[in-house]
Amino acid sequence: LAFSRKQVLQPTALNLNELVGSVEKLLRRVIGEDIELLTHQATDLWTVRADRGQIEQVLVNLAVNARDAMPDGGKLTLETGNVVLDDEYVRRHADSMPGEHVMLAVSDNGQGMTPEVLQRIFEPFFSTKGDRGTGLGLATVYGIVRQSGGHLQVYSEPGRGTRVTVRFPLVG
């Protein structure tokens, strides 16, 4: 339902630093002992309006994908920050809106993805893991973020890792 944008959300005012702090223990169990979890949280982080449970699901799905991209261990970094998107940025990223946003980034130093895989990562039932995945994790992430008014940007290089940056509009 989330990737088809039909799930009913219950948005509330949300501080992403608090959310990251509350799911950190769960994420450590999910990613295992071979992966170091680092957090870089902005001070005075702005507030967004989003469904807490859904954003937690976004974090868990991105962490699981990162874990699977680092079978021999590595580093998973969660980062928050305040950003202002200008007209130039919006011109280059059609699904974004100008103004003040809160950024949540999930980065790993895993296997990375080819440009061909990157083009399809949010398609339902397309798995970045070949036949090991269902292809629903990133499609769900996409659906939740878009339904919450946010947008995503993914940067990845084979052998260098992946960074998924989510930006949510500031609560007015």
Residue 93, H or E segment: none
pLDDT of amino acid 1: 46
Are 166 and 152 in contact, with CB atoms under 8 Å apart?
yes
Number of Cβ within a 10 Å radius of residue 86: 10
Per-residue pLDDT reduced to its tens digit, 116-144 = 999 999 888 887 776 676 778 899 999 99
Per-residue pLDDT reduced to its tens digit, 17-58 = 999 999 999 999 999 999 999 999 999 999 999 999 999 999
CA 99 from centre of chain: 20
Token reading at 73: 């261990």
For the cut 90, the answer to whether the pLDDT of residue 153 exceeds it is yes
Closest by Cα among 17, 100, 99, 95 to 59: 17
Amino acid at 51: D
Per-residue pLDDT reduced to its tens digit, 54-84 = 999 999 999 999 999 999 999 999 999 999 9
For the cut 60, the answer to whether the pLDDT of residue 5 exceeds it is no
Per-residue pLDDT reduced to its tens digit, 91-106 = 998 888 999 999 999 9
CA 93 from centre of chain: 17
pLDDT of amino acid 18: 97
Closest by Cα among 74, 99, 54 to 162: 74
pLDDT of amino acid 132: 72
CA distances from residue 30 to 76, 115, 124, 141 in whole angstroms, order as listed: 12, 27, 23, 17
Alpha-helical regions (H) of 97-161? 115-118, 137-147
Q: What is the pTM of this model?
A: 0.90
- Conformational region of residue 49, where left means phi above 0, alpha means psi within -120 to 50, and beta covers everything else: beta
Q: Which residues contact 45 (CB under 8 A, 6 or more apart)?
A: 15, 16, 17, 80, 81, 82, 102
Are 80 and 106 in contact, with CB atoms under 8 Å apart?
no
Closest by Cα among 152, 65, 137 to 101: 152
For the cut 60, the answer to whether the pLDDT of residue 4 exceeds it is no
> Average per-residue pLDDT in the chain?
90
Per-residue pLDDT reduced to its tens digit, 105-117 = 999 999 999 999 9
